[in-house]
Amino acid sequence: MTGPVGADEPGGAERLEVERHALLEQVAAFLEQPMAVLGVVWLVLVVVELTVGLSPFLTAVNYAIWALFVLQFVLEFALAPRKLAYLRRNWLSAVSLLLPALRAVRLVRALRLLRAARGARLVRVVSSANRGMRTLGRVMGRRGLGYVVALTLLVNVLGAAGIYAFERDAAGGAITSFGVALWWTAMTLTTMGADTFPQTAEGRLLGLLLAIYGFAVFGYVTASIASLFVARDAETDEGELAGSQQIDALRTEVATLTRRVEALLEIQDRRK
């Protein structure tokens, strides 16, 4: 039996790093499913908080889930062999976990001013979208068209909640209900645009982020839907494009012709 690896042994530091990385992956895999469920609940609570507010009970649930996320982050950070690399990969999650703590303790007046300026809400919306992206990735596994559609629906609902929270009390604003915010966000994500514009700086910045996401994703969704129709057209005999069935039939015919030609060549060789 071998004892624990020491960092001062030859190659000990590298082996210790590999073992800690393997342990980190095991812990992440063990916590994956329960944290994914809590992530979905967290997103729902964020939308409810931004739109109608949380009751005392839901507030307690929100902080309990936040505490579990903090414990997960601290545990994974303690196990990570390279701390700075882990923070670089998870800096947005760290910020999202820091904001509730700042809001809870309110140590300095500047934090209350930050909350009044609603800048913290914008960071929370973006970080919640990032957590939702990771949760969907864990739940769905494959990141194909279904993943993109589900992620876009999540971004639409979460973005609408953020826009509504920023714009409902804005002077001269037209986004005065969550339904209008959903419609505005959907128009922004589909790159169609709307005839109303956010009035607050936070709303405009969030709208810009939504437009960038829509520009990046809408082309992919359009191409995927077009390829689906092309594939269906190719599978029919009347289609203008050759599908897999036609290609398989052509391969069969070519193979048959090849065997016949080889048989004829053998007959000619025997006659000679």
Determine contact, residues 133/150, Cβ cutoff 8 Å.
no
107 pLDDT higher than 50: no
Question: Both tokens of residue 90?
Answer: 């998870």
57 pLDDT higher than 90: yes
- pLDDT at residue 85 in the model: 85
pLDDT band at 253 (very low <50, low <70, confident <90, very high): confident
**What integer best gives the mean pLDDT of the chain?**
77
156 pLDDT higher than 80: yes
Question: Both tokens of residue 39?
Answer: 């992530």
- pLDDT at residue 9 in the model: 55
pLDDT tens-digit map of 5-42: 555 555 567 777 778 878 888 888 888 888 888 888 88
DSSP codes of every residue in 106-166: --SHHHHHHHHTTHHHHHHHHHHHHHHHHHHHHHH-S-SHHHHHHHHHHHHHHHHHHHHHH
DSSP SS3 for 272: coil
- pLDDT at residue 241 in the model: 47
pLDDT tens-digit map of 178-189: 999 999 999 888
DSSP codes of every residue in 210-248: HHHHHHHHHHHHHHHHHHHHHHHHHTSTT-SS--HHHHH
Task: Name the percent of the chain lying above pLDDT 70.
Answer: 75
- pLDDT at residue 232 in the model: 61
